[in-house]
Amino acid sequence: MKPIKDIKILTIILIVLLAGCSDDFLKEESKSELTTTTFFKNDAEAKLAVNGLYMLLHQDGLYRNVGLDRFYLMGGDEVGTNRAEDNETYNYTWNASTAYVYDTYKALYEVIRNADLFISSIEGNENVSESVQNQAIGEALFIRALMYWHLTNIWGDVPYFRELLSIDELSTIERTDKELIREEMRNDLDRAYNLLPASYPASDLGRATKWAATALKAKYFMMEENWAGTLAECKKLIQSPNHRLLDNFADVFDQKDSYNQYNDEIIFAVDFFGRDAIDDVFKQSRQNWYNPRIDKDEPLRRNEPGVSAAFKQALNERNEWMAGYGKMIPLPELARAENWEDGDLRYSETIIQEYLGFELQYPYFKKMWNLDQENHARHNSSVNYVVFRMADIYLMAAEAENELNGPGEAYEYVNAVRARAFNPDKPWSGLSKEEFRTKMYDERKFELCGEAYRKLDLWRWGILIETIRNTEQRPHNNPASNISEKHLKYPLPEEEIILNPNLLNTDATNNGWQ
């Protein structure tokens, strides 16, 4: 990705136009108040505009903090908090007026509105070369489809538009059936695939490729249980020359060197490296949630004479520190080695309960933490947010093949993932279709835990409620007493309903919350 200093001026102008006018969705600038001919008078401006879309992904309600993690990770059967905080999320007491629900909803539509404007302003613009148009439109189509993917996952039927709407149109728009939205987004991703390159030079890593579009299209198919479509897209990725499973599981998550965070397994990541212009707004603070708190929590025997000082010295010698929150830690069942398959090498690379010879009070996600203080200080980490990686694609292919034809050819995909997880290898074989399906529940959990896949998996399998009710939680959380059918979809934010009552026309219950 180009250095952020190169995109500063135009990006800020665009954000002011489309986001700075008001905090409310319906009070944004309308299409009648924006003249697209004032935009993109050359290739450079078109490129800067698309860079601005990537920048909008760096909002707290999306990828910079735990905005999306609240919907996909927190409150599942993998992650808990080390103290009685974030209770709305972990205890399922959120509702239509919960602040973070509105924050993420607004942030998703802010990206969509900008993408709509950029596509209409770039496409057919005689001031912009065809090659730049193609890539810019492909990237914008992918980013918009990613936002609608989140919206339809979290809320189901939502307002849907493909061009910048007027205030009057926004104030009366109704919800659109999620199946139509998903169909049109898949069509957009087909177009993006044809417009986008397969790879980029090092200076542009972090941009969407045709393989990112393929992965997202596979995800769309999976949510509809269109197994043939899922398998076809996954096979395209598996057969691509640009991505592969790494030989070593731990290497996938090695982001200590900020200059070398990408690897062949990562298909798409939201890039946070090198973005220190305009204060530190472009670095991420999500890392704080995975990192421990020294003194308050760690190490376990910190109050014994000399222990805390020795631990701090050991950290300092490595230029490390524990300056996080410790609020996304493994739940007790996941943290126990006996609950993992015997010999699973992923356990020791995923869960850590001792560091530098000191026992820790809590378990942590080793693959997700980063204690380096030079590049990943508190509230200022350059660790990228990995959105899609190849192990997920292989497991999706296995699941889809099994649902279509049984486990016969599905073993190839799941065993490719398990090959690096066991030594000697422990390939699956001899399973029925139903046994394969059930074992996949745990295989995806152990391979992908802590990476914001799990709650969506539990939801699409139809086992979210029963799983949460039967999962051992931290003492200060009790989601089992609150979770019910209505928690399978979030309500549209109350603020939006007040501004536009038509949002209830097709569902007066607001996903069961009214």
Rg (CA), the chain: 23
Rounded-to-5 percentages of helix, strand, coil across the chain? 50, 10, 40
Element (DSSP H or E) covering residue 417: helix 411-418
**Dist. CA 267–CA 193, nearest whole Å:** 13
Q: Distance (Å, rounded) from C-alpha 460 to C-alpha 118?
A: 33
Residue length of the chain: 514
CATH code of residue 141: 1.25.40.390
pTM of the model: 0.92
Q: Tell me whether residue 296 is in a domain.
A: no
Residue 59 carries which DSSP code? S
Residues 196-241 pLDDT 10s? 999 999 888 899 999 999 999 999 999 999 999 999 999 999 999 9
- Phi, psi angles (nearest 5°) of residue 496: -70, -35
**In the block, which residue shows the tokens 């061009």?**
163
CA–CA dist 369, 387 (Å, integer): 17
Spatial separation of the C-alpha atoms in residues 207 and 336, rounded to whole Å: 38
Other CB atoms closer than 10 Å to residue 497's CB: what's the count? Answer: 17
pLDDT for residue 12 = 39
Q: DSSP string of 242-267? A: S----SSGGGGG--SSGGG---TTEE
Asked if residue 22 is part of any domain, the answer here is yes
480, 485, 487, 493: CA torsion to nearest 10 = -150
291 lies in some domain: no
Question: What is the sign, positive or negative, of the torsion defined by CA atoms of 446, 447, 451, 452?
Answer: negative
Query: How many structural domains are present in the chain?
Result: 1
**What pLDDT does residue 182 have?**
98
Q: State whether residue 115 is helix, strand or coil.
A: helix
Range(s) of the domain holding residue 171: 4-282+489-504
* Average pLDDT of span 3-11: 34
Cβ atoms 45, 122 nearer than 8 A = no
Closest CA to 189 of 106, 268, 72: 268
Q: Would 237 be classed as within a structural domain?
A: yes
Average pLDDT, integer, range 296-316: 97
In tens, the pLDDT along 241-297 reads 999 999 999 999 997 777 788 999 999 999 988 543 333 446 788 989 999 999 999
The CA distance from 167 to 181, in Å, is 22
Model confidence pLDDT, tens digit, residues 325-368: 999 999 999 999 999 999 999 999 999 999 999 999 999 999 99
Supply 118's token pair.
């950029």
Is residue 59 in a domain?
yes
Strands 175-176 and 158-159: antiparallel
SS3 329: strand
Tell me the pLDDT band of 166, cut-offs 50, 70 and 90: confident
Strand 266-270, strand 385-389: pairing? antiparallel
Average pLDDT, the chain: 90
Evaluate whether residue 387 is within a structural domain: no
Give the dihedral of Cα atoms 161, 163, 169, 172; nearest 10 deg: 10
Helix (H) or strand (E) holding 221: helix 210-223
| H or E segment to which residue 159 belongs | strand 158-159
- Helix, strand or coil for residue 275? coil
**CB of 417 within 8 A of CB of 247?**
no
User: Do 52 and 114 contact (CB within 8 A), yes or no?
Assistant: yes
Burial string for 134-170 (b: 16+ CB within 10 Å, else e) reads: bbbbbbbbbbbbbbbbbbbbbbbbbbbeeebbeeeeb
Q: Are 143 and 208 contacting, i.e. CB atoms less than 8 angstroms apart? A: yes
In-domain check, residue 373: no
220 within a domain of the structure (yes/no): yes
